[in-house]
Structure 1
Amino acid sequence: MDTKVLLTCLADIAGAHDASISRVALNWLLARDSHVIPIPGATKPHHARANLDALGRRLSEAELDAIDRASAESGK
């Protein structure tokens, strides 16, 4: 399994949104399916704030598709 493709994709999108990779990944998970409920960790208050910030961000369909493709590729 090669996760470089997925990490590169997430990093590129995060850079375009001035966001962290974890925020983009959380946003992607939230957008995938209403039955998917990610449970992000938060050991410090700023982690919880960052996780909440992901709720207010929306990725474009093209970005979501790119992450889907990269995820599928990294799972091969």
Structure 2
Amino acid sequence: MLLDEYADWEGAYLSSMLNKTYEWCVEIASNTDTVTSIGGFKTLVDRQFTNLINDMDFYEMGFYEFSAKYSNPYQ
């Protein structure tokens, strides 16, 4: 979850580690369509907070189970 004026240098370390595997899907959620970091980087958001409320599984399960369940919408 990102909000405006997030610290962009911290995300670089995290995203490089998270994207090393295909075991889960990384998505960005916020309260707006785009967020801007302290350094001025604009980030497009995958999900709105209001939509996450409908996906209660997101809150109840870990990221691996969440990504496995939603990675194939035809299951």
Same fold flag (TM > 0.5): no
Report which structure shows greater RCO (CA 8 Å, sep ≥6). Answer: 1
Which of these two proteins has the greater Rg computed from alpha carbons? Answer: 2
User: Which bin holds the TM-score, normalised by the shorter protein?
Assistant: under 0.3
Q: How does the TM-score come out when normalised to structure 1? A: 0.28
Q: How does the TM-score come out when normalised to structure 2? A: 0.28
> Which protein is richer in strand relative to its size?
2
